[in-house]
Structure 1
Amino acid sequence: MTSIELWNVSKSLGRTLALDGADLSFGPGLVALLGRNGAGKSTLLSIMAGLTAETSGDLHLNGSRLKKDRRPLRAAATFLPQDLRLDPATPAAAYVRYLLDLRKRPDDQLEPLLARFGLTEAATTPIGELSGGARQRVALAYACACDTPILLLDEPTQGLDPWERLTLMDYLAEAAADKLIVYSTHIISDVEAVAPRLVVLDRGQVLHDGPAGDLAAPLVHEVPVEDARGLVTGRDGLYKVRCILDGDPPESAKLVEPTLTDAYLALTR
């Protein structure tokens, strides 16, 4: 069974502590990684992929402590960054096969994945002629076709429309039956839809690790606009503010059901 463990792992980037004493253990399954920009999500994924060395701490693969040689980890993991560069002049399927060949991975899953991600007709189209969403799906087809036991995806739903996001999440939920899949996101609905486990990072620190439903639910109120500042919502021609208040709420406040977004914002504010 594939596993990755991080023991008190930190990473400094200049004067910035991008990851601060992370203690995490991962096995097969689907994990969502949530955090604001600069929280340390990409750094964590890069360390788990064997592409970035930690400043301190220990990394374990399948129960064995990894030394400086990270080739076993790189062989076991596929990391899809936010900005994978694709050759604009090469047809989509041909370029994915080229990338798979570089990694010495078979291409037997490529055609089914192209079909699943709606890319069959685009397979012979030069990548530069595809839309941004289609290019993102080509990158995802490559990452999934690698068929490694560890799949690490940095903001994989960027550029995807709701149906394309749903297709990807359906695939990840199925593939996680026998793979370790970790994906970072800013989209709360992507977490609520499929991820049984949520890791929240903020300023390099792990603030939460467990089911999304275990996040402490804050007290959330709706108040008239003139009484508070927060998330403005409109209903029946009336505008109200949804907010997490410090101190006693005004008399005009109405207690409402908290959402996962509310819990995340309360945890990281």
Structure 2
Amino acid sequence: MSLQIINLTKKFGDQTALNNINIEIDSNEIIGLLGPNGAGKSTLMKSIVGALKIDEGQMIFKGKDIRENEIEAKKNMGFLPENNPLYSEMYVKEYLNFVANLHQIPKERIDEVIELVGITPEKSKKISQLSKGYQQRVGLAQAILHSPDLLILDEPTNGLDPNQIIEIRNVIKEIGKEKTVILSTHIMQEVEALCSRVILIHQGNIIQDCNIEEFKGKYGSLEEAFASYTH
């Protein structure tokens, strides 16, 4: 078992963002985390990686409680948040060097990852000079640099052109053969292209957790199924 979430609850004042969430995720799964805006997807992802403190419940990662083994857990997780916070005045390779130093990993890995996410031509530029698509790739590079066992991606193809989307999907697919990936997206084609399983959150509750075919069920498309479950 890679990740187990037990009775997870998170509140902001009177608003319950996550209500008694229970999820079990195995190794080598790519999971599509779906839900309308404000459903609780980002709150769930930030809770897993420790960016938000949870109010109630427990998370077990690789057999250990995340809150009791916070540093060890974070070493084995990679996270690309939706807003992709980067140091815009740093150069691409300088930034990835900085991340490699934090994780205490060999510098040779940097060139591997630069090639993997397709930013070789841009590696000597300042991050602020890059297009949104290339900045997104830099964000993905920092998330996978330390070869985490769990990779959490919040809308990873946001702002990419169609060719870049295909390339990044291929990278995620390759990572998913060896690692566990939780992928939040509003693009149903992405879910069909990458994911074997769908977890649908609506108003802080999990309303579906099943394989794609079961999720689609009697509906003609994932879009129809999504609209039906969340209306």
TM-score by length of 1: 0.80
Matched, 1:19 2:18: yes
Instruction: Mark the runs of 5 or more structure 2 residues left unpaired by the alignment.
Output: none
Question: Deviation at 1:206?
Answer: 0.6
**Contact 1:50–1:71 at 8 Å: present in 2 too?**
no
In the alignment, residue 268 of structure 1 is paired with which amino acid?
A: T
Distance 2:189 2:216 in 1: 18
Greater relative CO (CA pairs within 8 A, separation 6+): 2
Distance 1:160 1:216 in 2: 27
Structure 1 or 2, whichever has the larger Rg, is 1
CA RMSD of aligned residues (A): 1.7
Question: Deviation at 1:181?
Answer: 1.0
**Contact 1:78–1:152 at 8 Å: present in 2 too?**
yes
In the alignment, residue 17 of structure 1 is paired with which amino acid?
A: T
Distance 1:204 1:112 in 2: 39
Distance 1:181 1:105 in 2: 21
In the alignment, residue 221 of structure 2 is paired with which amino acid?
A: T
In the alignment, residue 8 of structure 1 is paired with which amino acid?
A: N
Identity %: 28
**1:114-166 CA-partner distances (Å, limit 9, x unpaired):** 22333111100111111111111111111122211111111111111122111
Distance 2:3 2:72 in 1: 12
In the alignment, residue 19 of structure 1 is paired with which amino acid?
A: L
Distance 1:119 1:66 in 2: 33
Matched, 1:263 2:221: no
Q: 1:132 to 1:60 in 2, by over 3 A?
A: same
1:83 alignment partner in structure 2: 83
Q: 1:63 to 1:183 in 2, by over 3 A?
A: same
Distance 2:226 2:153 in 1: 21
Q: Classify the secondary structure of the residue corresponding to 2:21.
A: strand
Q: Classify the secondary structure of the residue corresponding to 2:120.
A: coil
Map residues 180-191 of structure 1 onto 2, 5 A cutoff. Answer: 180-191=180-191
**1:54-106 CA-partner distances (Å, limit 9, x unpaired):** 11112112233344552222122121111232222221111111122123233
Question: Deviation at 1:34?
Answer: 0.8
Distance 1:196 1:107 in 2: 34
Map residues 126-205 of structure 1 onto 2, 5 A cutoff. Answer: 126-205=126-205
Q: 1:59 to 1:266 in 2, by over 3 A?
A: same
Distance 2:213 2:225 in 1: 9
Map residues 61-80 of structure 1 onto 2, 5 A cutoff. Answer: 61-80=61-80
Distance 1:119 1:67 in 2: 35
Map residues 237-256 of structure 1 onto 2, 5 A cutoff. Answer: none
**Contact 2:31–2:199 at 8 Å: present in 1 too?**
yes
